[in-house]
Copies of this chain bind each other. A is one copy, B any other.
Amino acid sequence: MPEPKRPKGTLTIYDVAGRAGVSIASVSRVLNGQGSPRADTREKVMRAVRELSFVPDGAARALSNGLKEVIGVVFRRGGEALFEGEDESLLFMDVINRGIEVEAQRRGFDVLMSSVGFDDEDVLPRIAAIAGKTDGLILHDRMLSAVGIARLADIVPIVTLAGSPTRASMNVRCDNESGMRALVQHLVIDHAYRSIAYLSGRADSPDNRARAKVFEAEAAAADADFQVGAPWLGNYSAAGGANVIASLLDAGTKLPRAIVCANDQTALGVMHALGRRGIKVPEEVAVTGFDDVPVARHLHPPLTTVRQPMQELGARAFDMLYSRISAAAGTPDVVLPVQLIVRESCGCATNPASRAGNASIARSGT
């Protein structure tokens, strides 16, 4: 705890009451619209508030109400060195955060945004400190172990993103299963590609595991030749995707006809790496992503991917947290529908005008 103390001659509700010639109770009531103050009382108070430009202290209100009207959002920042277009790595989380914030404002809540280093180990104390300053927490992917979450959860309500609900916490995620299913089917059935690989995200990410699982199942079901595992291990970053391709190529491995990437970011890196080696997408190797970040449509060729409703993801996460804070129980597990976006990187319509739009092939339920 830093040394700074007592800001200065802080203005309190007593000053307002004094000036308005009423009691502090009246001031509080007017300010919060409780009770039914007489018109002239209200008027006197309002004037005094205006003249002093009084703003009630949040900490005192919070203490008295048992409600801070602040929630915390924790995520991991940075990581891999920058890579062309990597700048948008922020994007996926940023869009979600924006969704959280906008929804929070509707309820008069504010958001404490806090990032932790990419591979900081002992984040629990930090997060606990944040928990102490908030009414609830939204944790992005891979922030904490289940035990960690459990410990936190008896301090404040918790919503995780892209994880799985625990006894004590809630979760919001997208329907990876049906998204991946539609995507793989599009590749192995519509395009009839016989060899296909899954370039994974971080191995410990639940989203990644879910996607990998469905990938395998669908590829196997279509009797396609598929590759997963060690050589195809990425980390959700463009650099990660590019490295995998580079290693594979350096080792003289023959690439499959289609590469399904764990997310758009990875796909971006893959396309870049492929381009460097002069391998044509989608003519020689088809590439797909997952997320549909805004840049996806501007890649060359435009990226076929699965759209997640990112902003809504954030909004829903806040809603769940809010209802828990308001004591209502609420669903502990929300799964949002996704949508297959067919563009050109899968081998569809090379003509930009035709199918390049937002052909929706799959739309999953909750």
What B residues does A1 contact at CB under 8 A?
32, 65, 69, 108
Name which of A7, A66, A72, A115 has the most chain B CB atoms within 10 A of its CB.
A7
A residues whose Cβ falls under 8 Å from a Cβ of B? 1-7, 10-11, 32, 53, 55-63, 65-70, 72, 77, 82, 84-85, 87-88, 90-91, 94, 98, 101-102, 105, 107-108, 110-115, 128-135, 151, 154-156, 293-295, 298, 325-327
| A32-B1, A85-B298, A110-B112 given; A53·B154 CB < 8 A | yes
Give the shortest distance, in Å, between A46 (CB) and chain B (any CB): 13
What B residues does A326 contact at CB under 8 A?
2-4
What B residues does A58 contact at CB under 8 A?
59, 62, 68, 132-134
Query: B87 and A294: CB pair below 8 A?
Result: yes
Query: B112 and A111: CB pair below 8 A?
Result: yes
Bound-state Cα–Cα, A151 to B51, Å: 10
What B residues does A11 contact at CB under 8 A?
155
Least CB separation from A9: chain B residue: B154
Bound-state Cα–Cα, A151 to B132, Å: 30
Bound-state Cα–Cα, A29 to B63, Å: 21
Query: B90 and A94: CB pair below 8 A?
Result: yes
Query: B115 and A98: CB pair below 8 A?
Result: yes
Question: 11 A-B residue contacts at CB 8 Å?
Answer: A3-B326, A4-B67, A5-B65, A7-B67, A53-B128, A53-B154, A63-B63, A87-B88, A87-B293, A87-B295, A113-B113
What B residues does A113 contact at CB under 8 A?
101, 111-113
Bound-state Cα–Cα, A67 to B8, Å: 11
Query: B68 and A59: CB pair below 8 A?
Result: yes
| A5-B67, A67-B5, A294-B82 given; A56·B132 CB < 8 A | yes
Query: B57 and A132: CB pair below 8 A?
Result: yes
Choose among B66, B72, B85 the residue that contacts A5 (Cβ–Cβ < 8 A).
Answer: B66
Bound-state Cα–Cα, A101 to B111, Å: 13
What B residues does A69 contact at CB under 8 A?
1-2, 133
Query: A151 and B53: CB pair below 8 A?
Result: yes
What B residues does A10 contact at CB under 8 A?
66
Bound-state Cα–Cα, A64 to B66, Å: 16
What B residues does A60 contact at CB under 8 A?
59, 63
Query: A84 and B298: CB pair below 8 A?
Result: yes
Beyond contacts A59-B68, A82-B294: 9 other A-B pairs, Cβ-Cβ < 8 A, are A4-B67, A11-B155, A58-B134, A59-B62, A87-B88, A87-B293, A101-B115, A110-B114, A110-B130
What B residues does A82 contact at CB under 8 A?
294
Query: A325 and B110: CB pair below 8 A?
Result: no
What B residues does A56 contact at CB under 8 A?
132
